C-alpha cells in the first residue's frame, strides 16, 4: 500500500504523520485500517482526500513532518494543546492553499514562523500563540486578506510590526481581521502610523492587544480612525509622548489599557466614550492635572485605575454612584479636600483605594460594605486616628462567587469529581483565561451569563457536555482573569477521544459567540488521561525537558546554598556570646501612631532601622532572599556574626500599628524546638519588620526537589515528619491561644543544619479566641493542593484543616511530587496505584526514587495508612496532631529509630542534584511567600 501512486500519496503522508507522532490517539491508527473511513481518529476525508486533521489535546509528541504539505485539500488543521509536539514549522505548510484554520495553540513549536503561511489566502483563523516561535512577524501575513483572527501572543517574536510599503505587504492590509493579539512577545520599534486605517472601521469588533512588548515612540493618532475598536491593550510597553486627542472618537471602546508606559502630556480626555467599562491608565507620567470631568459622566465604568498619574483636586461624589462601579484605584496621587461618598454608592463597589493622597476629611453617610482605604492621607496621619479606613484591609477582596453544589459530601473515588448535577465523572479540566475582561469583580450575573453562553453553545453544537463548574477565579499580574473550568461529560462518566477533541477544537477555534463581557479568551486544557480505550488511566509521565531545566536550576542553587552554608560555618567558629535581649525593647515603639500602647512581648528584641540597614548592606538586592505579597525578605548578619532573616513590609502595605502589635504578640509567645520563633522586630521610621533566625538548609521542598543537594533518605524523612508534626501539635495544643497554621506545606517547613524540621510562616494563621475555641469562620485562604476540601466548602477553619494539609505533606515526603502536578492530584494518584495486597502497597511507580531501596523502606505502609487518614474527606474522621505524633513515634520505634534522639551529624550533601530525577523545581529558592521566616530560639 505504500506506493507513491494516486491517492496512496495520502497513505504515505498519513503514515509519515503516524511515524512522527507517538501519541495515544495515533496508536489507534492501525496499519491497513481504513484511513478515511473513521478508523483513524481525527482524520476526516472528502472524496478520499483528507480535508480535516483535528487532534486537539491528544498528547501527541514529536514534530510536524514536512509531509504535511502533501495534504493539499486540507481545510482544517488543528493540533492545538499538544504540548510535547514541537520543533520547527516547515515551509511546506504554505502548500495547504485550501486551509481556513491553522491552529497550533499551546504546542512546543519553535524557530521562525515560515513566511509561506502568507500564501494561505483562505485562512480565517491563525493561532500560533503559546509556543516558542522566535524571529519577526512575516510581512507576508499582509496577504491573508480573509483573516478574521490572528493570535501570535505568548511567543518570543522580535523585530517591529511589518507594514506595507507599496512593494512588500504588511499587517495594515488585514482589513478583515478583527482580532490582533501580539502580547507577551519581544516586539519593539514604533507602532507604525500606517498600521491603522479608517477602512478597518467597516467591520464591527476590533481587538488590539499589544501589551507586554517593548514598543517605543508615541501612540499614532491614526488609532483614532479605527472607530470600530472595542478593546485596546497597549499597556506594559515603553510608549511615550501624548495620548492622541482623537482617542475620544473611539466611542465603542469598552476596555482601554494604557498603563505602565511613559506617556506624558495631559491626562487623556475620555469624554463621550460611554461604552467604557474598564479603564487602566495607571503608572504614566501625565502632566499634573485636576480630576477630569469624565470621572463622573462615564456611566458604564466598572473599573477605574489611575494609580500614580499625577491627579489632584477633590473627587466628585457622582463617581461613586456610577451604577456598575466595582473598583477604583487612585493610589499615589494628590487628591485632596473632602472625600464625599454619596449614601447610595454603586451596589457592586468592592474597593476604593486612595492610599497615599492628600485627603483631609471624609463625610461618611453610612456604613459602606466596600473596602475604603485612606492609609497615608492627611486624615489618617492625625494622631489618634483609629478609623477602619486608616488600615489596610486584612482580606484582599477576591473574585468570590464559586459554585457550590448541593450534593451530599460523598467521595467520588480517584480522579472522579462531583458534577453540579451530582454525578461522579472524569471532567475535562482547563484554565480559562480572559485577556481583557470588562469587569474587575465577579458578580453572580457575570458568572451566570458566562455559564449560559458556554452551555447553550455546547448544547447547540451537540457537544457531549452535561454541565460545568467554574472555580478558583483569580487575576494574574497582567490583569487577565483566570478560572479553572471543569466540563463534565453527558451520558457516560468519561469523555471519548472525539468528545475531547471536538470540545478542545471549539475553544481553540474561538467558536463561542462573544458577548460584551467575554470577547477574548484562551483556553488551556490539562491532558485528559481517562479515555476508555487508553488503558493507562492515570499514567503520568514526567517530561524530559522539565527534568533538564530542573537540574540546571538545581545546580546553580546548590552553589548558592553551599556559599551560605560556608558562611554559616565560618561564623560558628568565632561565635561570641548569645545576644543579650535589649533591656528596653520598646523604646522605639512609635508612640504617636495608632498602635494602642506598648506591646506585651516575651523576649523579642527591638532593632533600630539603622541596625538592620547596616546588616543587610542597605537592603541590597544581593541580600534579598525572598519576596512575597507582604514585602521582601533579606538575609542579614548582625555584628556578632549571627545570621538573621528579615521580613520587611513593603511601604504602603504596612498594616496598622495595632495589627502589627497583635501579630508580634502572637509570634513572640510561640516557643518550640520545631517551630520557627521570632528574634525581634523593627518598628522605626515608618518601617515594619520581623526578624527571625536564618535557617541554613532552606525549605523541605528545596530538599525534596533536589535543589538543596541534601539527600533525604527514608530515615531522615521519618525524623522530619516527626519534627514537623510535633511543631504543629504544639501550635494546636500548647500554644496560648491555640493557633491554626492554615498554610502547612513543604515550603513552610524549614530544615536547620541538623535537619531538624521547623514549622514556619504564620502569614495566614488564626488564633482561636476564647469564645470560639473549636473553629473560626473565615474567608478561604491557603495553598491549592494542600487545602482541606471541607474548609473550602464550609469556610469553617478547624485544626483538622491543618491535619489535611499535613497528610498531603506526608504524601509529598514519600513521592517528592508537588500536590498538584500537571493537573494530577497527589492524593488521588496514590490511592489509584495503591494495592494493599502487594509489597509496599504497590507504590513503586509514585515513590521518590531517591528515598532508598525497596528493602529499606520498613514502616512505609504504616506511614501511608496514616497519611491517608489525614486526608479523609470529613474532618472528624481525621486524627488529631497528637495522635499523629504518637503514630509516627510508633513507626519510628518499629523501624528501629529512637524518636527522642536528634540526628547527630550535620546534613551531608548528596552531590550534585542532577543525579536525581525530580519532577518539579520551578519555585524560587526561598519561597517564604508573604509570611514570616526563620526563627531564633529565645534564650531562656
Ligand atoms: C459600535 O457598536 C454598535 C453596536 O454594537 C454598532 O452597531 C456600530 O456599528 C459600532 N460602530 C462602529 C463604528 O463600528
Ligand atoms: C486641592 O488641590 C488643588 C490643586 O491640585 C488646589 O487648587 C486646591 O486648592 C486644593 N484644595 C484644598 C482644599 O487643599
Ligand atoms: C450569589 O450566589 C450565591 C450562591 O447562589 C449566593 O449565596 C449569593 O448570595 C449571591 N450573591 C449575590 C450578591 O446575589
pLDDT at 846 over 60: yes
pLDDT at residue number 603: 67
Q: Which residues line ligand 3 (CB under 6 A)?
A: 401, 444
Q: What percent of the chain has pLDDT over 90?
A: 33
Q: Which residues contact 676 (CB under 8 A, 6 or more apart)?
A: 692, 693, 695, 750, 758, 759, 760, 761, 932, 933, 934, 935
Least confident of 136-145, 257-266, 401-410: 401-410
Q: How far is the CA of 241 from the centre of ligand 2 (A)?
A: 27
Spatial distance between the Cα atoms of 360 and 385, rounded to a whole number of angstroms: 12
Please write the tens of the pLDDT for every residue from 462-521.
889 999 888 777 777 667 778 888 999 998 889 988 888 889 888 887 766 655 555 678
Q: Which atom of ligand 1 is nearest to the CA of 228?
A: 14
Q: How large is the greatest C-alpha to C-alpha distance in the chain, in angstroms?
A: 95
Place of cell 473574585: 399
Q: Which of 248, 198, 193, 185 is nearest to 217 (CA)?
A: 193
Same topology between domain 417-534 and domain 605-693 = no
pLDDT at residue number 776: 58
Q: 252 in ligand 1 pocket by Cβ < 6 Å?
A: yes
Considering every ligand atom shown, identify the ligand nearest to the alpha carbon of residue 338 and give its number. Answer: 2
Superfamily of domain 700-937: Transferase(Phosphotransferase) domain 1 (1.10.510.10)
Catalytic residues: 743
Spatial distance between the Cα atoms of 346 and 342, rounded to a whole number of angstroms: 9
Q: Which atom of ligand 2 is nearest to the CA of 288?
A: 5
pLDDT: which is higher, 393 or 5: 393
865 band by pLDDT with thresholds 50, 70 and 90:
very high
pLDDT at residue number 348: 87
Please write the tens of the pLDDT for every residue from 199-210.
776 555 567 777
Q: How far is the CA of 272 from the centre of ligand 1 (A)?
A: 14
Q: Which residues line ligand 2 (CB under 6 A)?
A: 290, 312-313, 334, 336-337
Written as nine digits, the cell of 58 is: 491528544
Considering every ligand atom shown, identify the ligand nearest to the alpha carbon of residue 228 and give its number. Answer: 1
Task: Name the residue of 401, 403, 795 to mutate for ligand 3: max ligand atoms within 8 A of Cβ.
Answer: 401
pLDDT at residue number 399: 53
Q: Which CATH number fits domain 417-534: 3.30.450, 3.30.70, 3.10.450, 3.30.1890?
A: 3.30.70
CA atoms within a 13 Å half-sphere pointing along the CA-CB vector of 277:
16
Q: What is the CATH number of domain 605-693?
A: 3.30.200.20
Task: Name the residue of 310, 313, 358, 362 to mutate for ligand 2: max ligand atoms within 8 A of Cβ.
Answer: 313
604 band by pLDDT with thresholds 50, 70 and 90:
confident
- Coil, strand, or helix at residue 926? coil
Helix axes 799-815, 860-870, angle to 10 degrees: 140
Q: 228 in ligand 1 pocket by Cβ < 6 Å?
A: yes
pLDDT at residue number 669: 78
Q: How far is the CA of 444 from the centre of ligand 3 (A)?
A: 6
Q: What is the mean pLDDT of residues 652-658?
A: 65
- Specify whether the CB–CB gap between 686 and 656 falls below 8 A: no
Measured CA angle at 15 (ends 11, 18), to 5 deg: 140
Average pLDDT of the residues of the chain: 78
* Distances 925 to 625, 747, 914 between C-alpha atoms, Å: 8, 10, 17
Spatial distance between the Cα atoms of 740 and 726, rounded to a whole number of angstroms: 14
pLDDT at 409 over 70: no
Spatial distance between the Cα atoms of 766 and 778, rounded to a whole number of angstroms: 9
Q: Tell me the domain boundaries of the chain.
A: 417-534, 605-693, 700-937
First-to-last alpha carbon distance for the chain, in angstroms, is 86
pLDDT: which is higher, 679 or 552: 679
406 band by pLDDT with thresholds 50, 70 and 90:
low
Q: Is 651 annotated as a binding residue?
A: yes
Q: Which atom of ligand 3 is nearest to the CA of 443?
A: 13
Spatial distance between the Cα atoms of 756 and 722, rounded to a whole number of angstroms: 9
- Provide the 10 A C-beta neighbour count for residue 333: 22
- Provide the 10 A C-beta neighbour count for residue 576: 10
Across-strand partners of 233? Answer: 209, 257
592 band by pLDDT with thresholds 50, 70 and 90:
very low
CA atoms within a 13 Å half-sphere pointing along the CA-CB vector of 54:
23
pLDDT at residue number 545: 25
Q: 490 in ligand 1 pocket by Cβ < 6 Å?
A: no
Q: What is the mean pLDDT of residues 158-179?
A: 90
Q: Which of 355, 369, 516, 529 is nearest to 446 (CA)?
A: 516
Q: Which atom of ligand 1 is nearest to the CA of 251?
A: 1
Considering every ligand atom shown, identify the ligand nearest to the alpha carbon of residue 199 and give its number. Answer: 1
Amino acid at each position: 500500500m505504500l506506493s507513491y501512486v494516486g491517492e496512496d500519496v495520502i497513505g504515505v503522508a498519513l503514515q509519515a504523520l503516524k511515524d512522527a507522532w507517538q501519541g495515544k490517539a495515533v496508536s489507534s491508527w492501525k496499519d491497513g485500517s481504513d484511513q478515511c473511513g473513521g478508523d483513524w481518529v481525527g482524520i476526516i476525508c472528502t472524496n478520499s482526500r483528507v480535508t480535516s486533521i483535528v487532534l486537539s489535546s491528544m498528547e501527541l509528541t514529536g514534530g510536524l513532518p514536512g509531509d504535511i504539505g502533501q495534504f493539499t485539500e486540507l481545510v482544517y488543521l488543528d493540533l492545538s494543546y499538544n504540548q510535547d509536539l514541537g520543533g520547527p514549522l516547515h515551509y511546506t505548510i504554505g502548500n495547504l492553499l485550501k486551509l481556513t484554520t491553522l491552529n497550533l495553540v499551546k504546542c512546543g513549536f519553535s524557530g521562525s514562523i515560515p513566511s509561506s503561511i502568507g500564501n494561505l489566502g483562505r485562512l480565517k483563523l491563525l493561532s500560533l500563540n503559546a509556543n516558542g516561535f522566535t524571529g519577526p512577524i512575516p510581512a507576508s501575513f499582509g496577504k491573508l486578506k480573509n483573516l478574521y483572527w490572528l493570535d501570535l501572543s505568548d511567543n518570543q517574536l522580535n523585530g517591529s510590526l511589518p507594514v506595507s510599503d507599496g512593494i512588500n505587504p504588511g499587517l495594515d492590509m488585514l482589513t478583515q481581521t478583527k482580532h490582533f493579539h501580539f502580547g507577551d512577545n519581544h516586539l519593539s520599534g514604533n507602532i507604525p502610523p500606517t498600521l491603522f486605517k479608517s477602512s478597518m472601521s467597516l467591520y464591527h469588533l476590533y481587538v488590539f492587544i499589544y501589551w507586554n512588548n517593548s514598543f517605543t515612540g508615541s501612540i499614532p493618532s491614526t488609532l483614532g480612525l479605527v472607530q470600530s475598536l472595542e478593546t485596546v491593550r497597549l499597556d506594559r510597553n515603553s510608549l511615550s509622548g501624548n495620548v492622541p486627542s482623537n482617542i475620544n472618537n473611539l466611542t465603542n471602546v469598552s476596555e482601554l489599557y494604557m498603563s505602565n508606559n511613559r506617556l506624558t502630556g495631559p491626562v487623556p480626555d475620555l469624554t463621550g466614550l460611554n461604552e467604557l467599562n474598564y479603564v487602566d491608565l495607571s503608572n504614566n507620567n501625565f502632566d499634573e492635572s485636576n480630576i477630569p470631568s469624565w470621572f463622573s459622566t462615564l456611566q458604564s465604568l466598572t473599573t477605574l485605575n489611575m494609580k500614580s498619574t499625577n491627579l489632584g483636586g477633590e473627587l466628585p461624589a457622582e463617581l461613586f454612584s456610577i451604577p456598575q462601579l466595582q473598583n477604583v484605584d487612585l493610589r499615589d496621587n494628590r487628591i485632596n479636600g473632602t472625600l464625599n461618598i454619596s449614601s447610595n454608592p454603586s451596589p457592586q463597589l468592592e474597593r476604593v483605594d486612595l492610599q497615599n493622597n492628600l485627603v483631609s476629611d471624609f463625610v461618611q453617610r453610612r456604613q459602606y460594605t466596600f473596602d475604603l482605604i485612606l492609609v497615608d492621607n492627611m486624615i489618617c496621619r492625625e494622631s489618634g486616628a483609629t478609623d477602619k479606613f486608616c488600615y489596610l484591609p486584612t482580606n484582599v477582596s477576591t473574585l468570590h462567587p464559586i459554585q457550590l453544589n448541593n450534593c451530599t459530601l460523598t467521595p467520588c473515588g480517584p480522579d472522579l469529581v462531583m458534577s453540579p448535577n451530582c454525578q461522579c465523572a472524569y471532567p475535562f479540566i482547563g484554565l480559562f483565561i480572559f485577556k481583557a475582561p470588562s469587569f474587575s469583580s465577579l458578580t453572580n450575573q457575570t458568572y451566570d451569563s458566562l455559564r449560559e453562553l458556554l452551555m447553550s453553545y455546547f448544547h447547540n453544537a451537540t457537544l457531549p457536555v452535561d454541565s460545568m463548574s467554574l472555580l478558583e477565579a483569580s487575576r494574574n499580574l497582567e490583569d487577565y482573569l483566570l478560572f479553572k473550568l471543569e466540563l463534565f461529560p453527558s451520558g457516560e462518566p468519561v469523555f471519548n477521544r472525539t468528545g475531547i477533541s471536538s470540545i478542545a477544537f471549539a475553544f481553540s477555534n474561538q467558536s463561542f459567540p462573544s458577548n460584551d463581557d467575554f470577547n477574548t479568551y484562551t483556553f488551556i486544557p490539562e491532558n485528559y488521561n481517562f479515555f476508555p480505550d487508553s488503558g493507562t488511566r492515570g499514567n503520568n509521565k514526567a517530561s524530559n525537558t522539565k527534568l533538564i531545566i530542573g537540574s540546571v536550576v538545581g545546580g546553580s542553587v546548590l552553589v548558592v546554598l553551599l556559599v551560605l552554608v560556608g558562611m554559616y560555618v565560618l561564623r560558628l567558629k568565632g561565635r561570641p556570646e548569645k545576644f543579650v535581649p535589649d533591656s528596653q525593647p520598646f523604646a522605639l515603639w512609635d508612640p504617636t501612631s495608632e498602635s494602642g500602647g506598648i506591646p506585651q512581648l516575651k523576649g523579642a528584641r527591638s532593632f533600630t532601622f539603622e541596625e538592620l540597614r547596616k546588616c543587610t548592606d542597605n537592603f541590597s538586592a544581593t541580600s534579598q532572599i525572598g519576596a512575597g505579597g507582604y514585602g521582601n525578605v533579606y538575609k542579614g548578619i548582625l555584628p556578632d556574626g549571627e545570621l538573621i532573616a528579615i521580613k520587611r513590609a513593603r511601604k504602603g502595605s504596612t498594616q496598622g500599628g495595632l495589627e502589627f502589635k497583635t501579630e508580634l504578640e502572637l509570634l513572640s509567645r510561640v516557643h518550640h524546638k520545631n517551630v520557627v520563633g521570632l528574634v525581634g522586630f523593627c518598628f522605626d521610621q515608618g518601617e515594619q519588620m520581623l526578624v527571625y533566625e536564618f535557617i541554613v538548609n532552606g525549605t523541605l521542598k528545596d530538599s525534596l526537589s533536589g535543589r538543596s543537594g541534601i539527600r533525604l533518605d527514608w530515615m531522615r524523612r521519618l525524623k522530619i515528619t516527626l519534627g514537623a508534626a510535633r511543631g504543629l501539635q504544639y501550635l494546636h495544643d500548647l500554644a496560648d491561644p491555640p493557633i491554626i497554621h492554615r498554610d502547612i506545606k513543604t515550603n513552610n517547613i524549614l530544615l536547620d543544619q541538623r535537619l531538624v524540621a521547623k514549622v514556619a510562616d504564620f502569614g495566614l494563621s488564626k488564633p482561636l479566641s476564647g469564645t470560639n475555641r473549636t473553629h473560626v469562620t473565615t474567608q478561604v485562604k491557603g495553598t491549592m493542593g494542600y487545602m482541606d476540601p471541607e474548609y473550602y466548602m464550609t469556610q469553617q477553619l478547624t485544626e483538622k484543616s491543618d491535619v489535611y494539609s499535613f497528610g498531603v505533606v506526608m504524601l509529598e515526603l514519600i513521592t517528592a511530587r508537588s500536590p498538584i502536578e500537571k493537573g494530577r492530584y497527589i492524593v488521588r494518584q496514590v490511592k489509584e496505584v495503591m494495592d494493599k495486597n502487594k509489597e509496599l502497597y504497590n507504590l513503586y511507580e509514585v515513590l521518590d526514587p531517591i528515598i532508598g531501596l525497596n528493602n529499606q523502606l520498613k514502616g512505609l505502609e504504616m506511614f501511608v495508612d496514616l497519611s491517608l487518614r489525614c486526608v479523609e474527606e470529613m474532618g472528624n474522621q481525621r486524627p488529631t496532631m497528637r495522635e499523629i505524633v504518637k503514630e509516627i513515634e510508633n513507626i519510628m520505634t518499629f523501624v528501629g529509630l529512637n524518636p527522642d534522639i536528634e540526628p547527630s551529624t550535620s546534613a551531608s550533601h548528596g552531590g550534585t542534584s542532577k543525579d536525581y530525577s525530580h519532577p518539579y523545581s520551578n519555585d524560587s529558592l526561598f519561597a517564604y511567600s508573604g509570611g514570616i521566616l526563620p526563627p531564633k530560639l529565645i534564650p531562656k
